[in-house]
Structure 1
Amino acid sequence: MPRYEFRCRACGDTFEVNRSMAAAGEPASCPQGHADTVKLLSAVAVTGRSGAPAPAGGGCCGGACGC
């Protein structure tokens, strides 16, 4: 289930909420009881299960065309 990060405008605390993607836009109350919160934009890091490093190279074709 996705995890969303929120910040409370009243006390400044940040907190996370696990909820379905369908409920992503719903408001979340601060753990301190405040209702004035905002959902933060988070960067997502995606890694493979094997822990192996990503292949070197780059560009649109993996570096084979020299782009």
Structure 2
Amino acid sequence: MPRYEYRCKACGDTFELNRPMAESGAPAVCPDGHTDTVKLLSTVAVTGTAGSAAPASRAGGGAGGAGGCCGGGCCG
């Protein structure tokens, strides 16, 4: 079941609720009982996929050497 994050306008508290996607837009009540809440935009970070090959710099075939990579490009 998806988890949604909300912020209460009355007290400023941020809280999460597990609810079905069909109820994602339904009003949410904060833990202190206030009903003036807004749903926050969630971000998801996904890295790699199962069974994918390691980047060349980690596999020893790139120019990264012992320094590794920074910011998505290999530092030399």
Same fold? TM cut 0.5? yes
Bigger Rg over Cα: 2
Q: What is the aligned-residue identity percentage?
A: 68
Higher relative contact order (CA 8 A, sep 6+): 1
TM-score, normalising length: structure 1: 0.69
Normalized against structure 2, the TM-score is what? 0.61
In the alignment, what sits opposite 2:6? 6
CA distance 1:38–1:54, shift in 2 (3 Å): farther
Question: Which portions of structure 1, spanning 4 or more consecutive aligned residues, are displaced by more than 2 angstroms?
Answer: 45-50, 52-57
Equivalenced residues, count: 56
Q: Which runs of 5+ in 2 are unaligned?
A: 57-76
Q: Runs of 5+ in structure 1 lacking a partner?
A: 58-67
Structure 1 distance, partners of 2:52, 2:31, is 38
